[in-house]
C-alpha cells in the first residue's frame, strides 16, 4: 500500500508529543499512550502546508468537490447580500469599502455579489471593491477565473479582485480601513477540541497511533484551561458519556480580527445552534462530521487528508467571544429570516411556464430551494457584528 505522507507526518508528531493519555475502550482500556489533541490532528488533516485537505488537490466545493455551500445554490444569496450591502454602504463619494470574503473558496459568491450589485447600483464600483482571502491554490485560481468570466460576459464595470492568502491579509492595509468582511461557512472549517464527560470528569479526546496501524481515539487531560470555563459560561452541562466540540480557534480568529480592524462589519453565515441545542440530549456524540464525494461519515481516522471535517458552529460561544473581543452584535437570525427580511421574495417573478429552464423559472426554483424549511436556510444562521473605531 502506498504510504500516506500526511499520516506519516502525523505519526511523527504523536511519537514526539509530550502529552500522555490513555485508551478508553477495548481490552487495552487504561493503557497509557502518547497522543495529541484532536484539535491538532484535525489541524494537520485540513491545513498541513503540503498535504492538508484545504491546501492541495482540486476544487473542493460543488458538484466536483466533496460538499456544497449555501452560495452554491443558485445566485439568490448573492442577490440578497448585494441589496443588503447597497443599503449598508457609505456614499460613493467616500470611496470604495473593501468587501472582503474570508475563506472565499472558488470566489463564486463574491463574483455573484459584484455582478448583482453592479446591475442594481450604477455606483457599485465606487462603493465596494472585492477582496478574496483564500489559501487553497486551486480555489485561488478559480476565484480569479470567476471574476474574469464576469468581465467577459459584459460586466466591464467590475474591477479585478484583490486576491490574498490569509497570511497576507493579516498584514494588509485594507484590513485597517473601514471594511465589510463576509465569512460564509468559514467558522465550521476551523479545527476543534473534542471533550467528553467520563465518570463525572471532563476529559479531552486525543489521537494516538501510527501510519502503519492507523490512528485511534485516546483520552487525555484537558489541554486548554479555558475549556471548562467556556462550557460553564455558556450553560453547557454535558451528560455522562456525552461529547461536544469547543471552538477555540474561532475565538482566536474573532479576537485577532477585532484587534486588526479599526472599523467595520463582519457578516458570519454558518450552520449552527445556540448552546441549549448544541449540547442537547440527542447530540450525545457531538456534531463532528466528515465529507468525501458528498458522502457523510463520522470517521475522522479514514481518508487522512482526503476528506473534509467540519462541526456545527456554537453561536452562543461565538457571540460571547466576539463581544469579549470588541465586537457588537448588530443582527442575528436564521438565514431564512435574513433572506426574507432583505427582499428575497422580491426575486420571485411571474413567468409563462413555457420554458422551465428560463431565467425566471430557474430563479424561482433557487428561491424556493433556499427557503424550504427542510433545506439549508432553516439551520443556517446569519450573525452580523460591528466594530467601532477605538473599541477592543
pTM to 2 decimal places: 0.91
Tally Cβ neighbours within 10 Å of residue 83: 20
Domains in the chain: boundaries: 1-387
Q: State how far the alpha carbon of 186 is from the alpha carbons of 60, 89, 199, 276, in Å.
A: 14, 23, 35, 22
Contact 266, 181 (CB under 8 A): yes
Contact 237, 186 (CB under 8 A): no
Contact 323, 236 (CB under 8 A): no
Q: What is the pLDDT of residue 352?
A: 54
DSSP string, 219-241: EE--S-THHHHHHHHTT--PPTT
Q: What is the pLDDT of residue 51?
A: 95
Q: Return the SS3 of 206.
A: strand
CATH entry, 1-387, from 2.70.150.10, 3.40.800.10, 3.40.50.12710, 3.50.50.60: 3.40.50.12710
Give the span between the Cα atoms of 122 and 272, in whole angstroms: 36
Q: State how far the alpha carbon of 75 is from the alpha carbons of 5, 64, 111, 115, 362, in Å.
A: 39, 18, 10, 10, 10
Cell 452562543 -> residue: 316
Give the span between the Cα atoms of 115 and 150, in whole angstroms: 7
Query: Percentages helix, strand, coil for the chain, rounded to the nearest 5?
Result: 40, 25, 40
Q: What is the pLDDT of residue 358?
A: 62
DSSP string, 75-122: THHHHHHHHHHHHHSPPGGG-PEEEEEET-TTSHHHHHHHHHHHHH-T
Q: What is the pLDDT of residue 65?
A: 47
Q: What is the pLDDT of residue 390?
A: 59
Q: What is the pLDDT of residue 351?
A: 54
Contact 180, 99 (CB under 8 A): yes
The partner residues of 164 in beta bridges, in order of sequence, read: 133
Per-residue pLDDT of the chain (392 residues; tens, 9 = 90+): 578 999 999 999 999 999 899 998 777 888 999 999 999 999 999 999 999 999 987 665 544 444 455 554 558 899 999 999 999 876 656 779 999 999 999 999 999 999 999 999 999 989 999 999 999 988 999 999 989 888 777 777 788 899 999 999 999 999 999 999 999 999 999 999 999 999 999 999 999 999 999 999 999 999 999 999 999 999 999 999 999 999 999 999 999 999 999 999 999 999 999 999 999 999 999 999 999 987 899 999 999 999 999 999 999 999 999 999 999 999 999 999 999 999 988 887 655 555 555 666 777 777 777 777 555 556 899 999 999 875 66
Q: What is the DSSP letter of 61?
A: B
Q: What is the DSSP letter of 330?
A: E
Q: What is the pLDDT of residue 195?
A: 99
Q: What is the pLDDT of residue 93?
A: 61
Amino acid at each position: 500500500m502506498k504510504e500516506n505522507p500526511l499520516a506519516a507526518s502525523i505519526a511523527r508528531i504523536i511519537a514526539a508529543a509530550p502529552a500522555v493519555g490513555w485508551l478508553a475502550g477495548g481490552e487495552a482500556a487504561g493503557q497509557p499512550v502518547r497522543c495529541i489533541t484532536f484539535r491538532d490532528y484535525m489541524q494537520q488533516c485540513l491545513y498541513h502546508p503540503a498535504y492538508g485537505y484545504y491546501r492541495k488537490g482540486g476544487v473542493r466545493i460543488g458538484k466536483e468537490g466533496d460538499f456544497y455551500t449555501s452560495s452554491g445554490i443558485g445566485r439568490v444569496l448573492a442577490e440578497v447580500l448585494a441589496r443588503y450591502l447597497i443599503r449598508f454602504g457609505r456614499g460613493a463619494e467616500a470611496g470604495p469599502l473593501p468587501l472582503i470574503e474570508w475563506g472565499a473558496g472558488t470566489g463564486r459568491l463574491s463574483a455573484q455579489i459584484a455582478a448583482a450589485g453592479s446591475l442594481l447600483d450604477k455606483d457599485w464600483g465606487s462603493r465596494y471593491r472585492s477582496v478574496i482571502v483564500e489559501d487553497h491554490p486551486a480555489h485561488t485560481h478559480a476565484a480569479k477565473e470567476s471574476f474574469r468570466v464576469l468581465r467577459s460576459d459584459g460586466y466591464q464595470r467590475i474591477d479585478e479582485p484583490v486576491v490574498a492568502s490569509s497570511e497576507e491579509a493579516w498584514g494588509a492595509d485594507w484590513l485597517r480601513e473601514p471594511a465589510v468582511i463576509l465569512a460564509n461557512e468559514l467558522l465550521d472549517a476551523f479545527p476543534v477540541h473534542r471533550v467528553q464527560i467520563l465518570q463525572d470528569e471532563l476529559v479531552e479526546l486525543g489521537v494516538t497511533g501510527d501510519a502503519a496501524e492507523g490512528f485511534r481515539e485516546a483520552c487525555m487531560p484537558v489541554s486548554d484551561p479555558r475549556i471548562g470555563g467556556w462550557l460553564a459560561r455558556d450553560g453547557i452541562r454535558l451528560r455522562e458519556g456525552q461529547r461536544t466540540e469547543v471552538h477555540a480557534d474561532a475565538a482566536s480568529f474573532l479576537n485577532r480580527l477585532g484587534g486588526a480592524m479599526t472599523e467595520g462589519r463582519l457578516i458570519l453565515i454558518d450552520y449552527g445552534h445556540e448552546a441549549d441545542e448544541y449540547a442537547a440530549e440527542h447530540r450525545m456524540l457531538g456534531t463532528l462530521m466528515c465529507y468525501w464525494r458528498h458522502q457523510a461519515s463520522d470517521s475522522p481516522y479514514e481518508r487522512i487528508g482526503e476528506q473534509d471535517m467540519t462541526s456545527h458552529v456554537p453561536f452562543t460561544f461565538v457571540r460571547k467571544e466576539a463581544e469579549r473581543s470588541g465586537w457588537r452584535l448588530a443582527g442575528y437570525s436564521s438565514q431564512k429570516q435574513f433572506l426574507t427580511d432583505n427582499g428575497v421574495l422580491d426575486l420571485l417573478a411571474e413567468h409563462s411556464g413555457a420554458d422551465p429552464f428560463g431565467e425566471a423559472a430557474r430563479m424561482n426554483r433557487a428561491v424556493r430551494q433556499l427557503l424550504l424549511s427542510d433545506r439549508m436556510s432553516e439551520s443556517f444562521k446569519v450573525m452580523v457584528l460591528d466594530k467601532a473605531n477605538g473599541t477592543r
